[in-house]
Structure 1
Amino acid sequence: MVKKGSSGNKGVYTGSFDGLPIPSHLVEQYNASGISTLYPPQAACIEEGLFEGKNLVISIPTASGKTLIAEMAMHHQIAAGGKCLYVVPLKALASEKYDDFSGKGVRVGISTGDFDRKDEQLGRSDIIVATSEKVDSLLRNRTGWINTISLLVIDEIHLIGDEGRGATLEMVITTMRNRNPDLQVIGLSATIGNPKELADWLSAGLIESEWRPVDLREGVYFHGLIQFTKGERAVQSIKKDADTNLCLDTVAEGGQALVFVSSRRNAEGAAKRIGSALRLDEPKLQEIAQQVLESDESEVAKTLAACIRSGSAFHHAGLSRDVRRLVEGGFRKGAIRVIASTPTLAAGLNLPARRVIINSVHRFVAGEGQVPIPVREYRQMAGRAGRPGLDPYGEAVLIGKSGEGVQELFDSFILAKAEEIDSQCAKRSVLLSRILALIASREATDHDAISRFFQGSFYAVKHANLSYLNRICTKVIKDLDGMGMAIDLGGRLEATEFGDLTSKLYLDPRSAIMIAEALRERDAVTPFGVLHLLSATPDMFRLYLKSADGELIESVMEEREEEFLIGRQEDTLPWLGYEEIVTAIKTALVLENWINEVPVEMIAERFSIGPGDIHGLIEGIGWLIHATREICRREIPSLHTEMSELEIRLKHGVKEELLPLIRLRGIGRVRARSLFNSGYDSPAALTEAGVEKIARIIGQKTAESILEQILTGGRGKRKGEGDEKASSLQETIQKKKRGQREILEFWESGE
């Protein structure tokens, strides 16, 4: 492990890899990929103590080589016997970084899900890539290897200021530093207004730079002219829409463009308009379009495929994950010339283009209407302009609506300083989970220890007086006591069994209370009732209600009233209001359609949502039903089996009758339904039929694999059976039919 202050590369650094304390094979790989010297900001990091174990906050533009800085530091730590944790905000970004770091002579692991798993096997990795939520859960569950981390890298560290996820990230950093004072921390950010405060919090050196490998020109387009901070450029007005003309101009000179818009509908509309203007007809585009249709049969996918055939595409969360990857891959390879996207693309994936066009600087916020975007969001989008090694320059262009508005856009965005970030941890709702986690993990077991813990937080840097936070913490501890989550034993705080379980399951205490109170003393529940309950919890993402949904919601509330497990419970559950109950109905209906085997394409059309929304709901509810199953195991055993079966149904999207089949590896919802409809409704029926009959339905290899699973009780091949062909396997099954009742009962039970 590299300790702070240890000897490393000192003095003025020239920009060469020569003499750097990193493995030679890493340098060879850099050279092979065309990287022979370092960028000035990278050299500055080395001079500041990158290889000396010094904490660093690195605030430099997108595409200026932040990942390479972190990678060199990680390989240096690993060579000295250390272990590294690379924290990202999004699962998609985790996968991208995992691919970046793999194949370079070190063991790389990735962890993004299953919040109650310790993932001890990851301790064998040299670099672990994980989301901040996953790291938080590993800390709560006292995973052994996490205390051996010697280098913590935080990608997009400015997200500490994010209202939704900032508190989690701040607590992860604070907890890890609290456990290991010698930990080296490197924070990476491209957009931050107060980097010195972050650096002061981390006792870190600060590297700030505006240097980019590709020159960035920022400007405003109005009436056929882009006005830059220096100079201007005329753009031919071929079409009536500004973004279309800017894209045509970019593609005509051999570049690609990203168009950022405010909504999914606008992204799809822009892609259709721009595609109609481009009218490209190339084999590669036809191939990508066909792959989209083969991956997804929904209407939104058909619309996307039509755009791709002409050279444009749209990208938003309503698309399935596989389709989004096809769009991203097609753009990276240069086939797709233009992507119209919601801002999520700018915050996540590395997808640069020659010209970035920001169509709107306003976003809709519930309760506030249309509000201007933050400067840092503009910077994230603008930073995607210019592909190193491919573009001679990058352009970020805002679209002006009037002559007077041009200067206003310059003043408000291009020339403006990014907003300062603030701590998000001093909210009562946030602190419920945070303080319970501190108590349950024994990070802090009395009031003074909790106060000392927060003295190491970013909040303490931004707000030197902790008296306000301490008062909130006192109230939260009383809340947890009232919820039955924690108790005060004469000054010593201790989590109850229920509180400990809640923390380890990574549940908001309010969600755990809702679930437990709604299910206790229930003789029977319906899947819809459970899905509605979980969809109303603070932990669950809910679909927006549209005006057209009103009649459906009213009819469900009237006709299925007896199925609801929650009503207006302001007295016992003050955070649960009428809005949460009503908006959860649509979400629960979508999920009910899924477990009733309605095709994704039909669900999307029925509820006017995208396939990506459906998969997002399935992923979100999957964790909540797993947690509910564990609560029932401990608190309500009479419902445990029912929750276990619902968990399987949600994972695979099947009716209850397919449960015996879906438990077999290699059998999904389509194959299970085909087998069931052919009269094979259980492992026993499959065994009775034999390989030959089953192969006609699901294929020879799958049939052999399934029957072998049944024969071995799911334990894999038995000794001496590894090389048997289909005929001998069939013979073996026939010979052992009399003695395999126990095995079949194993599969039927679902244990």
Structure 2
Amino acid sequence: MEIRSLNIPEKIMQFYLDSGIESLYPPQAEAIEKGLLEDKNILAAIPTASGKTLLAELAMLKAISKGGKALYIVPLRALASEKFERFREFSSIGLKDGGVRVGISTGDFESRDEWLGSNDIIVATSEKTDSLLRNSTSWMEEITTIVVDEVHLLDSANRGPTLEVTLTKLMKLNPGCQIIALSATIGNAYEVADWLKAGLVLSEWRPTDLREGVYYGGNINFRSSQKEIESATKDDAINIILDTLEEGGQCLVFESSRKNSVGFARRAGAKVSEILDRPNRNELDMIVEQVLEAGETEASKVLAQCIRSGTAFHHAGLNSAHRKLVEDGFRANKIKVICSTPTLAAGLNLPARRVIIRSYKRFDSNFGMQPIPVLEYKQMAGRAGRPHLDPYGESVLVAKSYGEMEQLFDNYIDAGAEDIWSKLGAENALRTHVLSTIVNGFATTRDGLMEFIEATFFAHQNDTWGLIEVIDDCLDFLKAHDMLEGDEQLTATTLGKLVSMLYIDPLSAAIIIEGLDKKKDANELTLLHLICKTPDMRQLYLRSGDYELINDFVQLHAEEFVEVPNQFKDTEYEWFLGEVKTALLVLDWINERSMDDISKSFNVGEGDIHAFAELSEWLMHSLSRLARVRENSAADMAGMIEKRIHYGSRPELMELVGIRGIGRVRARRLYDSGLRTVADIKKADPVVLGNLIGAKTAEKLLREIGMHINIGSETSKGANSRTMDSLLGNEQSTFSDFEK
């Protein structure tokens, strides 16, 4: 099907023709035939790189040309940023004055973000979309096209219920709205399509041929052929990588854990570096400099060492700047190999010639090492083959025996993806959504609540009689904790409305309020532990050496906790110690302990520390708001701790860290040198300032406070004069320390 034949405005057509897109892929053509451009709902369950995003773009742009507004829902912030950057290219399409406007919203769950309403396309995570609905954001009723990316995440225990309830609300709020749902192939796609009242586009077609095989016995074995791999090293996966690079391709390697991904990236780098040419090495050295600049831990040196060798690792423990540097370096074909945990397969557009799955098992805390689902394998395998760049893509599982090879063919390569199932049935999933449904007026009675549930994917798959008791338990809990009132007519109290707007679990609110009521003389540790008790907080687990250390801390500070459980109740007390450990990480963060020390002490990455800080900031903000409503004296203290969590600093640095571009490390350096306020900085010698924090940073700082001084040539070069080798340090000892 030719682009010229589509029923779309000439300006949209010309945009794609100018982009080099003249015809559609078969699945895209099928979506058009099933009414994509006629406002019909569509579920496209097709492989990665088969053109799902183009379907969404065509539907959104067609709607905008008629005065509509589009909402694009994604599961991850990184994916939101990627889509936002892509859609900004539409600003050149003159469908209206000023071109197509695009906005993005992923954080601050208490904000209405009314300003986003001026945009034609709004990109948001499912959680942010849910919060916008809870906060009664007015422009949500103007949405005419909803795109749901990765809709198979309805099956996720964490994200699924929120996505499901959000979609149900949007369909009720905007009954005439067009829904475009995008997914990898799922077993029961027809069932999801039926729930969405959508035409189903189900296809295995790919623009680049995908060959799925298993490595065993010196060969990649496909169903009808073999490819011999030279045994240059003792590691089979490294041999496959070297073969790929010799053919001009790149590799994605999926590992079962962060530690394994780091270790393999380094081992592979020792061999990959031998085949890099000088121009490539120079390009990699530029990335290395940026990695070192963007990191504060030993892990950044390990990453830099790997990148210098042409490899990298990628997992949630990396900070966002490092992840972006790795992704961009790989897209530009400078980094040849990325070794990743499965996070990379979850939606980011990062294809490679070959995908190697070194481990098809994942650790489960209840069952030990377990095989991954077929759907997860298909997500990884689907990354193989860059459209228009690679003649083919290959995904390779690694087997240790002939029997295992046969098993991998049967259980993964030849297997269909599993069915997905709603996870809305549990009380912990329903509790928060029952409250928000009543707060927003989607239901005002118990019967109305059950009627709302009848519209969910859960009800589409199951009889809802089993939920009646769970719903009643949720209602009883919410009434008992003063968040709902009434019998026949259900009404949210002031507290209930606040809890829904804050976007926290009602159980979290109940724990916080009970703790504040019990402990009148709260301090920093009290409040930090209180938020770490909530189900909304991610918990650190106790390692073998933690019990004694944290137990000793608890005994010394017992009076500062709301309550210390009985030590002889093993499970309860160990869980309590895990909460304390989490609180201690945040306490270290706000007391300016170095990122590297926190990373080593708690065995976490920079990305984890930032994730804990972000969660803690949100929950401390919620605690402050709840304390104020309860007229509790802890409200002001919580507000200050919230700011300290945001910046990771002590109270005296608040003025300095509030200057854009001056983080806690530079702020401390300035403060300790006597420059403690903006007024002090304005009076300071620019050369001294440059020597303290670097010339470029000093110039930016001065611009931020309204002064324009060029000090670059006057300052000492300091750290800039260090060689790359001295920055990286001793490669062997650095990595050994990191792995320990």
Normalised by the length of structure 1, the TM-score is: 0.88
Confirm whether residue 456 of structure 1 aligns to residue 455 of structure 2. yes
Query: In structure 2, do the counterparts of structure 1 residues 32 and 650 end up closer, same or farther at CA, with 3 Å as the change threshold?
Result: same
Confirm whether residue 500 of structure 1 aligns to residue 497 of structure 2. yes
> How many percent of aligned residue pairs carry the same amino acid?
47
Tell me the equivalent position of 1:12. Answer: none
CA-CA distance at 1:299 after TM superposition: 1.5
Query: In structure 2, do the counterparts of structure 1 residues 335 and 655 end up closer, same or farther at CA, with 3 Å as the change threshold?
Result: same
RMSD of the alignment, in Å? 2.2
Q: Distance in 1 between matches of 2:207 and 2:112?
A: 41
CA-CA distance at 1:497 after TM superposition: 1.3
Letter matched to residue 548 of structure 1 = G
Q: Which moved more, 1:101-110 or 1:372-381?
A: 101-110
Aligned with 1:524 (options 521, 525, 544): 521
Aligned with 1:85 (options 35, 59, 71): 71
Contact 1:520 1:636 (8 Å CA) reproduced: no
Q: Distance in 2 between matches of 1:501 and 1:58?
A: 38
Q: Distance in 2 between matches of 1:691 and 1:639?
A: 41
User: CA offsets per residue over residues 56-100 of structure 1, 9 Å max, x none?
Assistant: 111000000000110010000000111000000000000000001
Tell me the equivalent position of 2:715. Answer: none
Contact 2:150 2:347 (8 Å CA) reproduced: no
Aligned with 1:559 (options 550, 556, 561): 556
Contact 2:287 2:307 (8 Å CA) reproduced: yes
Q: Distance in 1 between matches of 2:655 and 2:648?
A: 14
Confirm whether residue 621 of structure 1 aligns to residue 607 of structure 2. no
CA-CA distance at 1:680 after TM superposition: 4.3
Aligned with 1:479 (options 468, 473, 477): 477
CA-CA distance at 1:544 after TM superposition: 3.0
Tell me the equivalent position of 2:26. Answer: 40
User: CA offsets per residue over residues 137-191 of structure 1, 9 Å max, x none?
Assistant: 0111110001110111000000001111100000010001011211111110013
The residue correspondences of 1:689-704 to structure 2 (distance < 5 A) are 689=683
Tell me the equivalent position of 1:186. Answer: 180
Tell me the equivalent position of 2:326. Answer: 327
Q: Distance in 1 between matches of 2:61 and 2:273?
A: 47
Q: Distance in 1 between matches of 2:382 and 2:356?
A: 11
CA-CA distance at 1:31 after TM superposition: 2.8
Confirm whether residue 540 of structure 1 aligns to residue 540 of structure 2. no
Aligned with 1:76 (options 54, 62, 73): 62
Confirm whether residue 62 of structure 1 aligns to residue 48 of structure 2. yes
Tell me the equivalent position of 1:402. Answer: 401
Aligned with 2:464 (options 453, 463, 466): 466
Q: Which moved more, 1:23-32 or 1:71-80?
A: 23-32
Tell me the equivalent position of 2:222. Answer: 228
Q: Distance in 1 between matches of 2:532 and 2:688?
A: 39
For residue 193 of structure 2, give the secondary structure of its aligned residue in structure 1.
helix
Q: Distance in 2 between matches of 1:661 and 1:291?
A: 24
The residue correspondences of 1:140-151 to structure 2 (distance < 5 A) are 140-151=134-145
Q: Which moved more, 1:674-683 or 1:218-227?
A: 674-683
User: CA offsets per residue over residues 388-437 of structure 1, 9 Å max, x none?
Assistant: 01100000111112111111111111111111011111111111101011
CA-CA distance at 1:195 after TM superposition: 0.4
CA-CA distance at 1:494 after TM superposition: 0.9
CA-CA distance at 1:276 after TM superposition: 1.1
Query: In structure 2, do the counterparts of structure 1 residues 200 and 725 end up closer, same or farther at CA, with 3 Å as the change threshold?
Result: closer
For residue 115 of structure 1, give the secondary structure of its aligned residue in structure 2.
coil
Q: Distance in 2 between matches of 1:667 and 1:338?
A: 34
Q: Distance in 1 between matches of 2:8 and 2:426?
A: 43
Tell me the equivalent position of 1:711. Answer: none
Confirm whether residue 638 of structure 1 aligns to residue 618 of structure 2. no
CA-CA distance at 1:541 after TM superposition: 1.1
Tell me the equivalent position of 2:86. Answer: 100
Tell me the equivalent position of 1:51. Answer: 37
For residue 335 of structure 1, give the secondary structure of its aligned residue in structure 2.
coil
Tell me the equivalent position of 2:128. Answer: 134
Query: In structure 2, do the counterparts of structure 1 residues 705 and 355 end up closer, same or farther at CA, with 3 Å as the change threshold?
Result: closer
The residue correspondences of 1:206-605 to structure 2 (distance < 5 A) are 206-280=200-274, 281=276, 282-463=281-462, 465-487=463-485, 489-520=486-517, 522-568=519-565, 577-605=572-600
Contact 2:252 2:339 (8 Å CA) reproduced: yes
Q: Distance in 2 between matches of 1:569 and 1:177?
A: 49
Q: Distance in 1 between matches of 2:338 and 2:54?
A: 27
CA-CA distance at 1:307 after TM superposition: 1.3
CA-CA distance at 1:438 after TM superposition: 0.8
CA-CA distance at 1:683 after TM superposition: 5.6
User: CA offsets per residue over residues 5-64 of structure 1, 9 Å max, x none?
Assistant: xxxxxxxxxx11114233434333323333221111101100000011111111000000
Tell me the equivalent position of 1:652. Answer: 647
Contact 1:485 1:500 (8 Å CA) reproduced: yes
For residue 146 of structure 2, give the secondary structure of its aligned residue in structure 1.
strand
Q: Distance in 2 between matches of 1:387 and 1:704?
A: 45
Q: Distance in 2 between matches of 1:646 and 1:376?
A: 42
Query: In structure 2, do the counterparts of structure 1 residues 40 and 532 end up closer, same or farther at CA, with 3 Å as the change threshold?
Result: same
Query: In structure 2, do the counterparts of structure 1 residues 306 and 434 end up closer, same or farther at CA, with 3 Å as the change threshold?
Result: same
User: CA offsets per residue over residues 475-517 of structure 1, 9 Å max, x none?
Assistant: 2111211122112x24111111111110110000111111111
Q: Distance in 2 between matches of 1:703 and 1:60?
A: 49
Letter matched to residue 235 of structure 2 = D
Query: In structure 2, do the counterparts of structure 1 residues 432 and 225 end up closer, same or farther at CA, with 3 Å as the change threshold?
Result: same
Aligned with 1:125 (options 119, 134, 143): 119
Normalised by the length of structure 2, the TM-score is: 0.90
Contact 2:436 2:500 (8 Å CA) reproduced: yes
Aligned with 2:664 (options 664, 669, 677): 669
CA-CA distance at 1:523 after TM superposition: 3.6
For residue 547 of structure 1, give the secondary structure of its aligned residue in structure 2.
coil
Letter matched to residue 449 of structure 1 = G
Say how many residue pairs are matched. Answer: 691
Query: In structure 2, do the counterparts of structure 1 residues 283 and 679 end up closer, same or farther at CA, with 3 Å as the change threshold?
Result: closer
Query: In structure 2, do the counterparts of structure 1 residues 370 and 67 end up closer, same or farther at CA, with 3 Å as the change threshold?
Result: same
Tell me the equivalent position of 2:730. Answer: none
CA-CA distance at 1:242 after TM superposition: 1.5
For residue 178 of structure 1, give the secondary structure of its aligned residue in structure 2.
helix
Contact 2:565 2:573 (8 Å CA) reproduced: yes
Contact 1:536 1:580 (8 Å CA) reproduced: no
Q: Distance in 1 between matches of 2:393 and 2:678?
A: 60
Q: Distance in 1 between matches of 2:640 and 2:705?
A: 23
Query: In structure 2, do the counterparts of structure 1 residues 175 and 694 end up closer, same or farther at CA, with 3 Å as the change threshold?
Result: farther
Contact 2:699 2:708 (8 Å CA) reproduced: no
Q: Distance in 1 between matches of 2:708 and 2:125?
A: 44
CA-CA distance at 1:664 after TM superposition: 4.8
Q: Distance in 2 between matches of 1:270 and 1:551?
A: 33
CA-CA distance at 1:703 after TM superposition: 6.4
Query: In structure 2, do the counterparts of structure 1 residues 725 and 600 end up closer, same or farther at CA, with 3 Å as the change threshold?
Result: closer
Letter matched to residue 671 of structure 2 = F
CA-CA distance at 1:520 after TM superposition: 2.3
Contact 1:533 1:566 (8 Å CA) reproduced: no
Aligned with 1:29 (options 15, 22, 25): 15
Query: In structure 2, do the counterparts of structure 1 residues 257 and 684 end up closer, same or farther at CA, with 3 Å as the change threshold?
Result: closer
CA-CA distance at 1:686 after TM superposition: 6.1
Structure 2: state its 5+ residue gaps. Answer: 92-99, 710-740
Contact 1:542 1:583 (8 Å CA) reproduced: yes
Tell me the equivalent position of 2:159. Answer: 165
Letter matched to residue 308 of structure 2 = R
Contact 2:518 2:562 (8 Å CA) reproduced: no
Q: Which moved more, 1:91-100 or 1:663-672?
A: 663-672
Aligned with 2:602 (options 586, 602, 607): 607
Aligned with 1:152 (options 142, 146, 157): 146
CA-CA distance at 1:228 after TM superposition: 0.9
Letter matched to residue 497 of structure 2 = D
CA-CA distance at 1:525 after TM superposition: 2.2
Q: Distance in 2 between matches of 1:454 and 1:414?
A: 37
